[in-house]
């Protein structure tokens, strides 16, 4: 038992000295989450969009206001002139704008927001379609009743990106780190020296698994916490399945890394082969 504890301490020291592995396992997921979260975290999230309306005439203003109120949960601002509306769009105080002149609704948007404009245009079309129906006194021929089933919720695109970041963390800690670590030991003939010692090969592999598993759990939990606290991402996490998935995924990627270490002798070759498999 004492010898196994020494192996655990040695593996922990090896990881702490591997700056590249530490970066991609611990720091890179956080850097990715923070940078892309602040830059593009709200892209495509129409429910959080802000849009403005300018009424050029009072004709049917009440009907249009009621239509907008019934259309969704977007944040609405009213403007007293077209110039102020366009300035707000340019300054990104609002995401898009609508102007009612008594005849048609004009849709204003920022052409530079390529990824978001499609969602904004769809929201504007929904308002326009509903407004036209109400002006004509026509109801929808086939009313649609929305019923929520299960626990699946409508989320923004960044909610789908974060699980991919967690998967990359597991892949990095298993496939890349283990293959590079074992081939480095093989290249320096450390594994050959360990064979003649009383230590069993399974003890070495177990120490590597335990340390890498602990690092993966730490990295994924911290990354998940940052996404939920800083960017308000919502997940209905089944923690039992989460633990099982992380354990199985880490063991699987570590197994692939071990196979790579058996096939090649140099860390550079192991890294190249790992990139191909990834």
At 45, give phi and psi (nearest 5°).
Answer: -90, 85
pTM of the entire structure?
Answer: 0.63
Distances (CA, A) of 263 to 118, 200, 259, 270: 49, 21, 6, 8
Q: How confident is residue 247, by pLDDT bands cut at 50, 70 and 90?
A: very high
Longest dimension (CA), the chain: 92
Q: Give the DSSP H or E segment for 7.
A: helix 2-17
Residue 126 has pLDDT above 70, yes or no: yes
Mean pLDDT of 135-152: 64
The pLDDT, as a whole number, for residue 88 is: 92
Instruction: Please list, residue by residue across 149-183, b when 16 or more beta carbons sit within 10 angstroms of its beta carbon and e when fewer do.
Output: eeeeeeebebbebbeebbebbbbbbbbbbbbbbbb
Task: Say if residues 258 and 178 touch (Cβ distance below 8 Å).
Answer: yes
Say how far apart CA 97 and CA 94 lie, in whole Å.
Answer: 8
Q: How confident is residue 59, by pLDDT bands cut at 50, 70 and 90?
A: confident
- Encode pLDDT of 191-204 as tens digits: 777 777 777 778 88
Say how far apart CA 264 and CA 273 lie, in whole Å.
Answer: 9
Which of 247, 234, 213, 239 has its CA nearest to residue 162? Answer: 234
Q: How confident is residue 131, by pLDDT bands cut at 50, 70 and 90?
A: confident
- Encode pLDDT of 173-191 as tens digits: 888 878 887 888 888 877 7
End-to-end CA distance of the chain: 36
Residue 111 has pLDDT above 90, yes or no: no
Residue 150 has pLDDT above 60, yes or no: no
The pLDDT, as a whole number, for residue 243 is: 93
Q: How confident is residue 160, by pLDDT bands cut at 50, 70 and 90?
A: confident
46-135, CATH topology level: D-Maltodextrin-Binding Protein; domain 2 (3.40.190)
Percent of the chain, pLDDT > 70?
Answer: 87
Residue 40 has pLDDT above 60, yes or no: yes
Mean pLDDT of the chain: 81
The pLDDT, as a whole number, for residue 261 is: 85
Task: Say if residues 47 and 70 touch (Cβ distance below 8 Å).
Answer: no
Q: Kindly give the residue spans of alpha helices, DSSP state H, lying in 136-195.
A: 157-171, 177-187, 190-195
Residue 90 has pLDDT above 80, yes or no: yes
- Encode pLDDT of 220-239 as tens digits: 999 999 988 888 788 888 89
The pLDDT, as a whole number, for residue 152 is: 47
Per-residue tokens: 2: 């004492």
Count CA atoms closer than 13 A to 115's CA, side-chain side.
8
Instruction: CATH 3.40.190.10 in the chain: give the residue spans.
Output: 46-135
Degrees, nearest 5: CA angle 171-240-163: 35
């Amino acid at each position: 038992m004492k010898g196994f504890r020494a192996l655990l301490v040695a593996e922990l020291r090896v990881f702490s000295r591997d700056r590249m592995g530490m970066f991609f396992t611990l720091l890179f997921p956080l850097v990715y989450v923070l940078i892309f979260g602040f830059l593009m975290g709200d892209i495509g999230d129409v429910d959080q969009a802000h849009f403005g309306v300018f009424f050029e005439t009072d004709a049917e203003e009440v009907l249009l206001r009621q239509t907008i109120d019934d259309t969704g949960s977007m944040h609405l601002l009213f403007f007293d002139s077209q110039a102020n509306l366009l300035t707000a769009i340019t300054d990104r105080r609002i995401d898009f704008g609508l102007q009612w002149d008594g005849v048609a609704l004009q849709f204003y948007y920022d052409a530079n927001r390529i990824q978001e404009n499609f969602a904004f245009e769809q929201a504007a079309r929904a308002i326009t379609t509903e407004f036209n129906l109400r002006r004509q006194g026509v109801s929808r021929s086939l009313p649609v009743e929305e019923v929520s089933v299960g626990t699946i919720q409508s989320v923004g695109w960044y909610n789908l990106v974060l699980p991919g970041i967690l998967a990359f963390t597991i892949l990095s800690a298993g496939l890349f780190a283990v293959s590079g670590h074992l081939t480095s030991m093989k290249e320096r003939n450390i594994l050959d020296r360990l064979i003649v010692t009383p230590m069993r090969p399974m003890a070495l592999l177990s120490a590597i698994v335990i340390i890498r598993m602990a690092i993966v759990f730490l990295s994924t939990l911290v990354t998940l916490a940052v996404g939920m606290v800083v960017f308000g991402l919502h997940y209905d996490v089944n923690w039992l399945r989460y633990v099982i998935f992380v354990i199985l995924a880490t063991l699987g990627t570590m197994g692939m890394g071990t196979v790579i270490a058996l096939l090649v002798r140099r860390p550079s070759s192991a890294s190249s082969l790992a990139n191909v498999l990834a």
